[in-house]
Amino acid sequence: MNCRECAEHLYEYLDRELTPELEREIRQHLVECPPCGEHFDFEKLFLDFLRARCRAQGAPPELKHRILRELFDE
Amino acid sequence: MATPTPPRSPSTPPAPPPPSPAGEADKRASFEREALVHLDSLYRVALRLTGNSAEADDLVQETMLKAYRAWDQYQKGTNAKGWLLTILRHAFINEYRRRTRHPETVDLDAIEPFSVFEELQDEDPQGTFFDRIVDDEVLRAIDQLPEQFRETVVLSDVEGLSYEEIARVLEVPVGTVKSRLFRARRLLQQQLYDYAVGMGYIKGSSTG
């Protein structure tokens, strides 16, 4: 595993979409190569940030009432 | 509003058994348990697709009505969220997109976003500037993405679907999901980086 191959799988690795073997190879490379490790840490931080900022919003309560009324004539 | 139940479509084959009160109650219970629990997810996706809350409300309501009508076709206990999102997306494409946003005419393959990580090597390699960016700014940045990127990033990062599930909802190969996700996230980073530079949170290497 070299740096280029490692970078190609960056998001698949962070999204847990790789086979266990490939995941292990990348984890090994990240331990041995601090620059790649820092890059992955940065991207992971970004994804965590993105998810934290976007998942808070929910449907307004009136919408749920409207749908229940429409579906079940309540 | 006491509207009478609409008659069943004459083209629906074969005629289902007449609804017994118990059957209807079961249907309602399973729909509430498996479908209505995803209301927040559907709303978040609808909001990002349509770009405004009134349209998002209508789109979600329509999705739920269609889903309830087709509930007998849904295999209980499988991926209800994916099934509902597929219905929502079809409804959006067929009825809303023409009225709200227009599909892109830009060449998405030509978009080559730079790496923000490399830009920040000297100044903020740990990305601490992200902490200063608020929710609304992130949502605004998502809304500015081209539609194909926006829907991919919303299904992945906002709703947590796997690549396989996203591919099924968007009806594209998994490889397309990967490449769109890569570009979408890079574009988002770039926009948030530009915003942070504009706000003075970071200096940015291009100006230094």
Show the domain range for A67. 3-72
Phi, psi of B42, rounded to the nearest 5 degrees:
-60, -40
Looking at chain B, the domain(s) classified CATH 1.10.10.10 span 108-199
Which member of B1, B68, B135 has the closest CB to residue A56?
A: B135
Which regions of chain A are under pLDDT 50?
none
Instruction: Give the ipTM.
Output: 0.90
Cβ distance A63 to B157 less than 8 Å, yes or no, reads no
For the stretch B7-40, pLDDT in tens is 555 555 566 656 677 788 889 999 999 999 999 9
Q: Give the gap in angstroms from C-alpha A5 to the nearest C-alpha of chain B.
A: 15
Task: Provide the whole-model pTM.
Answer: 0.83
DSSP chain B: --PPPPPPPTT-SSPPPPPPHHHHHHHHHHHHHHTGGGHHHHHHHHHHHHSSHHHHHHHHHHHHHHHHHTGGGS-TTS-HHHHHHHHHHHHIIIIITTTS-----S-GGG--PPPHHHHTTTT-TT-GGGGG--HHHHHHHHHTS-HHHHHHHIIIIIT---HHHHHHHHTS-HHHHHHHHHHHHHHHHHHHHHHHHHHTSS--TTT-
8 Å CB contact of B117 and A58: no
Does the pLDDT of residue B131 top 90, yes or no?
A: no
Chain B environment of A55 (Cβ under 8 Å): 44, 158
Decide which of 1.10.10.10, 3.50.50.60, 3.30.70.3400, 3.30.70.580 is the CATH code for B108-199. Answer: 1.10.10.10
Whether residue A60 and residue B5 make contact (CB cut-off 8 A), yes or no, is: no
Counting the structural domains of chain A, the total is: 1
Tokens of B53: 């809350």
Q: Mean of the per-residue pLDDT values for chain B?
A: 85
Determine the pLDDT at residue B15. 61
Distance from CA of B81 to the nearest CA of A (A): 15
Start-end ranges of CATH 1.10.1740.10 in chain B?
A: 24-96
Q: Helix, strand, or coil here: A65?
A: helix
d(CA B15, CA A3): 61
Please give the pLDDT value at position A14: 96
pLDDT for B154 equals 95
Inspect the interface and report whether the beta carbons of B1 and A38 lie closer than 8 Å: no
DSSP string, A10-64: HHHHHTT-S-HHHHHHHHHHHHH-HHHHHHHHHHHHHHHHHHHHHSS----HHHH
- For B37-51, B86-100, B139-153, which range has the lowest pLDDT when averaged over its residues? B86-100
Q: What are the Cα distances from residue B160, in Å, to A45, B49, B153? A: 16, 17, 9
Cβ-based contacts of A45 with chain B (< 8 Å): 126-127, 130
The CATH label, of 1.10.3720.10, 1.10.1740.10, 3.30.390.30, 1.10.10.10, for the domain at B24-96 is 1.10.1740.10
Confidence (pLDDT) at A18: 96
| Dihedrals phi, psi of A5, to nearest 5 degrees | -60, -40
pLDDT at position B208 over 70: no
